[in-house]
Amino acid sequence: MEKDQIIIIGGGLQGLATANALLDRGEKVLVLEKNSETATAASFANAGMLTPSQSTPWNSPADILNILSGIGRKDSPMSLSLKAMPSYFLWGLKFIANSTPSKFEKISKDIFALAKYSKDLTVTIRTSEKFSYDESTNGTMKLFRDAARLQNAIILSDRIYGKSNEIEVLNQKEVIELEPALNKVRKGIVGGIHYKEDETGDAYKFCKALEGLVRSKGGRILVNTDIKRILLNKRKVNSVVTDRAVLEAKRVVVCAGCLSTTLVKQLGIKIPVKPVKGYSLTYNTAGIKNAPELSIIDESIHIAITPFFNRIRVAGTAEFVGLNDAMHPKRINYLNSKLNEVYPNLYSKIKDDEESELWFGFRPMSSDGLPFIGESKIKGLYINTGHGHLGWTLAMGSAELLADQLVGRETQINNKPYQANR
């Protein structure tokens, strides 16, 4: 007997990864994407980092202070809109409640477990399927301009990730040796941490490669399909209503990022996930000598800079503004100023690039920093969202966890921290 079709709502990293994992388990899948193509939302122009090393959530006491200090400001790395404050109130209380040192450390370890699992799966699929997405396996480096903050980061790294030969603490000289393009600003750098196992690449290109793989395995993908609601029969999933048709399905996986909350709320399910808006700028570096080669995270100014093939991307900032899609010039100016601060020589050569690409997207951020993965309280309704700033890093592992649960297999890592019903 032919298996029932599983509908996956969302054609970004999570949706496509989930589709691939289910196809590998012999399931029949249909991916629904409301936009004209896959991977056009948060998967499109993110920082492009696969970083198990950055598995700490955003609810550390220091980050909470940054958010509070940025209320009403658009020129800070983290800002909270006055208009949006009421919609974030209850979520924010949970966010703060999870910021105690003990909870912060436990959550960080849980994220790292999933991130490490996921990154290994990403490497496996790249190797087996010969994916090409401007990938780099040179790791990432976190820069520090304050000795005390560097020392605290070393202690935290040891507590969360343990001692590892893949994590190297660098002094100023070693930082410059690893990335000579930083020489101009070496006086402001006290040291860094090189996370050798991290990788980088173009998440959009990865998504497109994954889309091709899904199609080759028999998966169907419908774009330009707006999902209106999910229908139930006796508290079980029955069908999905779109602007095209009513599609019968006994199992539905919601992987729609920030829009996931709206879909499941219609069914009486509330998950504490809120949108956090981030920006990126991508410049052409073709023909520029001595351009940066290593992806870096500047700890003091909260930005990531990622070189790709003939391109460089600066990404960061966090706006708690709901789903407000207004483009704020101060955010753009902030990223440009920080890129100039880190790489003044490079910025002087690319600042007038008329082909530079400006982008923003909404990260689905959970109140505790952990994604929601698995079956909800409604039979046949599964959720895979809430990955925050680690969407690509956690994608492949999250998909495997969900697929194993859906078909009744034992998961390869402990899935309890990420349960959809927690």
Domain of residue 232: give its range: 5-43+205-272+369-418
Residues 217 and 328 both lie in one domain: no
- The token pair that represents 331 in the structure block: 């955010």
pTM for the full predicted model = 0.95
Among candidate residues 282, 364, 270, 294, the one with its CA nearest the CA of residue 141: 294
Residues 130 and 25 both lie in one domain: no
Amino acid at 56: T
14 Cα distance to chain centroid: 10
Beta strand 303-308 with 295-298 is antiparallel
- The token pair that represents 261 in the structure block: 């909350």
Residues 34 and 150 both lie in one domain: no
Amino acid at 308: F
Per-residue pLDDT of the chain (422 residues; tens, 9 = 90+): 356 899 999 999 999 999 999 999 999 999 999 999 999 999 999 999 999 999 999 888 777 776 666 666 666 677 888 889 999 999 999 999 999 989 999 999 999 999 999 999 999 999 999 999 999 999 999 999 999 999 999 999 999 999 899 999 999 999 999 999 999 999 999 999 999 999 999 999 999 999 999 999 999 999 999 999 999 999 999 999 999 999 999 999 999 999 999 999 999 999 999 999 999 999 999 999 999 999 999 988 889 999 999 999 999 988 999 999 998 888 899 999 999 999 999 999 999 998 899 999 999 999 999 999 999 999 999 999 999 999 999 999 999 999 999 999 999 999 999 999 99
Residues 89 and 140 both lie in one domain: yes
- Using an 8 Å Cβ cutoff, are 193 and 296 in contact? no
Largest alpha-carbon pair distance within the chain? 69
Residues 216 and 314 both lie in one domain: no
Residues 348 and 373 both lie in one domain: no
- Using an 8 Å Cβ cutoff, are 241 and 23 in contact? no
Residues 168 and 86 both lie in one domain: yes
Residues 329 and 393 both lie in one domain: no
Number of domains in the chain: 2
Among candidate residues 142, 110, 403, 411, the one with its CA nearest the CA of residue 255: 403
CA-CA-CA-CA dihedral for 69, 257, 372, 53, to nearest 10: -60
Residues 169 and 155 both lie in one domain: yes
Residues 294 and 359 both lie in one domain: yes
Residues 356 and 373 both lie in one domain: no
Nearest-angstrom CA–CA distance, 237 and 406: 14
Strand, coil or helix: 107: helix
Length of the chain: 422
Residues 284 and 159 both lie in one domain: yes
Beta strand 199-200 with 49-50 is antiparallel
Nearest-angstrom CA–CA distance, 392 and 125: 14
- The token pair that represents 235 in the structure block: 């508290």
Domain CATH code at residue 84: 3.30.9.10
